[in-house]
Amino acid sequence: MSLFDRLIAIIAPHRCVGCGDEGPLLCRACSSALTCLPARCYRCRAVTKLSRTCRSCRATSPLYRVTVGTNYETIAKELVWRLKFQGAQAAAGQIAEYLATIYAAEAHILIVPVPTSSKRVRQRGYDQAQLLARELADRLGRRYLPCLTRVGQQHQVGASRHQRLTQLTGAFRVKSSGVTGAHILLVDDVLTTGATLQAAARALKAAGAKRVEAIVFAQA
């Protein structure tokens, strides 16, 4: 818990987003009640070992695997909303705590946030994926490397799935030389089509990353 969160907890204690009890933003009981998803391919949802991308999806996906925390519903939706609009630090901590219990990180993996489009970051004053990735890196005891930036800022609202996929191709730039030969764990809050993760993974691979996988809190 950050000093700021500790102060907030004294002045205005949190209530659990699930049951409303005073205490952490997500109590232990409600955390364990989150739907744990079966290990499966993030694209076609076929059951696979350790959530690896299935053989046929691998043909067109740069992602080795995607670990998904839970379904994007009820408590998860509320937590993601908090992450974006209210008490972000506490929400990031709770989500990271949960993800750290379902994910075993290999020793040298680098933790990389998928940057939110900068217009939204400007509106909010922070990047929720960065917050989340930093919290997760802390808990996993792995290196945090915010090495991606967005290029081009087309808005996705109203765009069709196809347009989104096209717009996002090449939408990221890698601003670090530290990814050559690296294994990378991309971190994001919500998974929808997977287009954003794939674009980020492609940029990292083009910059020399050996293997790129991802972890997201909730799948819509």
Nearest-approach distance from CB 164 to Zn ion, in angstroms: 19
Judged by CB under 5 A, the stretch of 56-64, 117-125, 133-141, 195-203 that binds Zn ion is: 56-64
> Is residue 96 within the footprint of Zn ion (CB under 5 A)?
no
Least Cα distance to 169 among 146, 194, 133 occurs for: 194
Nearest-approach distance from CB 188 to Zn ion, in angstroms: 19
> Is residue 50 within the footprint of Zn ion (CB under 5 A)?
no
Residue 7 vs 44, nearer CB to Zn ion: 44
Residues 8-47 that bind Zn ion (CB under 5 A): 16, 18-19, 27, 30, 41, 43-44
Nearest-approach distance from CB 43 to Zn ion, in angstroms: 5
Residue 45 vs 139, nearer CB to Zn ion: 45
> Is residue 148 within the footprint of Zn ion (CB under 5 A)?
no
> Is residue 185 within the footprint of Zn ion (CB under 5 A)?
no
Nearest-approach distance from CB 206 to Zn ion, in angstroms: 23
